[in-house]
Structure 1
């Protein structure tokens, strides 16, 4: 083998090691590559209205993915967050008819936070596995939502409850306040995770909960607060959902739980906890949105889109596993 080939091999391995050391680099490269490919496949992909559509279609799952990121950072997983948001839309629609929009918003946040507290209590007080807890609450919440709605769809009148669906223009680019709300949620949680003691404790608990306890961190309290925060985020997602479509449907967003996990994993957050963050999740959300939109423009059936997304998740988890082994 020539010295030039050896140098090229070493260079390739160096690039791979760099990608593994920088969790955001891989997802960012994947996003850029996807944008380039679909811009060549479809002339309309980079049109301002289509880019705006990608963002708007990503709002609800993108917000839910923030809450999912917090849970996964603590080495847990939340299979109920989408169901909580759907229940929130039903509560919001019914409470609006009884007491007006402010009462509806207050009731939604109260219900979603209460359900977050239930999940958090079962995980922290009874020390049950998050997967089992949220699988159980997902089933119960989904059934309760259909019972509460009576299998009916509730139309929400235009006003404060649909405000996040209101559009505005920045030059030629048209977007909605829902997109702004999503970005603000990401910004707030990024700040909380990176600039506060609470955020450092979240990473510590996810990295090694026993070591966190020995260092004086109140791990139970921190973990419980994460589930409360997830309840707040689910309520915001419910509000954004009614902005997207002003109908509260108990059968809506059936795959939101899995889609939020997909965005988090693709974004580089480790399923083993303690590694990752919401910046990667935002990139992961955009990757999923770009992939679905681009394949739709290319005329690819939605079933094949699901196959492509599933393969992407498996690749992302495999990379995470490999990076984890290299760091041990």
Structure 2
């Protein structure tokens, strides 16, 4: 084990079990034991402790008006709040919390029965209207074993001609959005792998082509960088797209890396620091439950884990 892996293993259980699984070659038993700790201690437990009566922060996508952070506000109050049920369940999914843990089951059952979308009062796992929100709903629903067939059907019917999705389609947009498309793709992949009844593979591959044709960060028309922010890496990503998020999605899909990923992979490689880590660079402003790491400009265990496993996947394919 090298110094970088040792540093990663000093982090939260949510990081440690994934390092053991993806980087160190630990046994399945070691990985399982460490993963079980996500709900029992550390940041996963802290998130579960904040669940109250069917929701986090009293809301589905946004905190209720009478909700107050138990330890005072953390983060940027001028940004979007990330404390409600959807962003919290997304984070627990990223943590890899065991869906069968009793506290997790109780919380998710409570969300299914009691949480309603601010938009129209629909039940949480029935979805909302925006594809980016619904992509996240499908991802967490599939991960936590909930019926999200209705949301998936809606997403399949909203795929645009260029292969992706866009929350602005209802306002007339005919061009897909990187942000929305990655949210939907992650949801469809989780749904497919959870054994969902609906056929989503063809739609998912079309969405992947939308990103691949643009080499994950370039304009299709000119080849220029579409958004400089996408070249910076953050965790949690929330609903935002960036190159590392895109690559980690394709790593999760697996198989031989497409050659059109090369520019993105080399960009990730170029961001490695002399100590072998990657930095937190672009924290998305808003209220959060608590800080996960040390802030922008500091080494990030999450970005380092994600970058290392992307590079391992691509390098092994070309070795």
Shorter-chain TM range is under 0.3
Highest relative contact order (Cα 8 Å, sep 6+), 1 or 2?
1
Q: As a proportion of its length, which structure holds more helix? A: 1
- Structure 2 length normalisation: TM-score? 0.28
